Amino acid sequence: MAHIITGLNVGGAENALCKLVENIDREKFECSVLSLLPDGALAGRIKNAGADVFTLNMKRGQPRLSSFIRMVSRLRKIRPDIVQTWMYHADLMGGIAGRILGVPVVWNIRHSNIDPMVNKLSTRLIVKLCAKMSGFIPARIAGCAVSGLDAHTALGYAAEEMVQIPNGFDTGVFRPDEAARFSFRAELGILPEARLVGVIARFDPQKDHGNFFKAAACLSEKHCDVRFVLCGDRITPDNPILAGMIDAALEGKVFLLGRRMDVPRILAALDVSVLPSMSGEAFPNVVGESMSCGAPCVVTDVGDSARIVGDTGIVVPPRDPAALASGICSLLEMPRRERENLGARARQRIIDEYEIGAVTKMYENLYNSILFTFNL
């Protein structure tokens, strides 16, 4: 089968594709991956999983007919039984290509809304076009989040083609690790017993880091020993916009680490993991990863965050720093053993509901059902 994705830099859809390629039954589903944009950070990981990677080397905002023709040509060489597309641009181009070649197509929805404040006009136009084509291009539309499927149904997507398949998590990689707790604190130069709150998210308006820093400043007034660690793309001290969000009261208490390759280690070291997003989330990976590491979460009520957390964390309204601070505070003020028990329940919820093997099986079952129907 062929997977077509907009790009292979670090992101939710890209990680989901990687995990699927790594865990799918390769005797039944041989995978090739086509990226519209040049190779990204995750291309090597996909190749290591045994999949071919081909890039169209398109430039953002510069669609070319020649790139589409190269895609169709590549698909003819691969001769896939199914084309799975990831994200809107790939849905559009890959969907049309699959239709031309007579190959069943599965679209994948990764967003819960298309906020005009944070989404380009070109993206919104593609979404509208995909909505009109959704009744006859894809055989199925797989969405990681219930909220995302509902939002796209409201936009005109064909509801009868939709199926929810959540993100899956490798609970062997993302797991509690007491050694990580001590070593990471030593790396930061803080005491082992210090209470550590973290945000793992790229710098993006939708992630609303400003909301978090307002909450952190409020929280720091009450709990002067709490420390805050953030990592992700552009989460660095030399980001002037980010630096301008940090209150003077937080000086010496905030660690901006940029992109990290040891995210499981960092999550296992946290007392509380926070997702402060204002919009755009569907099924945020970092929430499931945090829970799998035993870190209880405080999340804003966007996308499926509340559904993922269940009764193992705290859900607050978006854009409400006082509520966010209160939620974090309530977890930090728990006795450590009680907080650890909550984290253990969070991990068990991921094992029961979102383990990567079970989620991969959902994709395999979807593909098999499409092939059965297509070959009748």
Q: What is the CATH number of the domain that holds 198?
A: 3.40.50.2000
In the prediction, which pLDDT does 317 show? Answer: 97
> Are 132 and 185 part of one and the same domain?
no
Structure confidence by residue, pLDDT tens digits, 32-90: 999 999 988 899 999 999 999 999 999 887 778 999 999 999 999 999 999 999 999 99
Is the domain of 230 the same as that of 317?
A: yes
Q: Is the full-model pTM beyond 0.85?
A: yes
Predicted confidence (pLDDT) per residue in 150-191, tens digit: 999 999 999 999 999 999 999 999 999 999 999 999 999 998
Query: Angle 88-101/121-133 helices, nearest 10 degrees?
Result: 40
137 and 30 belong to one structural domain: yes
Q: State which residues form the domain around 248.
A: 178-353
- Pair (140, 205) in one structural domain: no
Residue 185 contacts residue 265 (beta carbons within 8 Å): no
- Looking at residue 280, what is its pLDDT? 78
Residue with tokens 């790009």: 7
- Low-confidence stretches of the chain (pLDDT < 50) are none
> In angstroms, what CA-CA distances link 103 with 56, 78, 100, 107, 374?
20, 12, 8, 13, 9
Rg of the chain over CA atoms, in angstroms? 21
Contacts of 188 (CB under 8 A, 6+ apart): 227, 229, 255
Domain identity same for 197 and 144: no
Whether residue 330 is contained in a domain is answered as yes
**Torsions phi, psi for 318 (to 5 deg):** -70, 160
Q: Which two tokens stand for residue 15?
A: 């990680």
Q: In 10 A of CB 249, how many CB atoms?
A: 12
Residue type, 205: P
Say whether both 115 and 54 belong to one domain: yes
Same-domain status, 330 and 209:
yes
266 in a domain, yes or no?
yes
Listed in sequence order, the residues at least 6 apart from 187 whose beta carbon sits closer than 8 Å to its beta carbon are: none
For residue 69, tell me if it sits in a domain.
yes
- 162 and 35 both lie in a single domain: yes
Q: CA 111 to CA 328: how far, in whole Å?
A: 26
Q: Which residues are within 8 A (CB) of 322 and not within 5 positions of it... i.e. 6 or more apart? A: 215, 218
Give the helix, strand, coil percentages of the chain, each rounded to 5.
Answer: 45, 15, 40
Report the pLDDT value the prediction gives residue 67, as an integer from 0 to 100.
Answer: 92
Using CA atoms, how far apart are residues 52 and 60, in angstroms rounded to an integer?
23
Q: Is the domain of 161 the same as that of 281?
A: no
Residue 32: strand, helix, or coil: strand
Same domain, 219 and 106: no
pLDDT reported for residue 224? 87
Residue 14 domain-assigned? yes
- In angstroms, the CA 126 to CA 137 distance is 14
Q: What is the pLDDT of residue 91?
A: 97
Do 200 and 311 reside in the same domain of the chain?
A: yes
Say if 198 falls within a structural domain.
yes
Question: How many domains would you assign to the chain?
Answer: 2
Shared-domain flag, residues 274 and 201: yes
Within a domain: residue 18?
A: yes
Quick one: which of 266, 281, 323, 275 has its CA closest to 297?
A: 275
Q: Which pLDDT belongs to residue 376?
A: 53
Residue 173 domain flag: no
The letter for the amino acid at 203 is F
11 in any annotated domain? yes
Q: Which pLDDT belongs to residue 146? A: 96
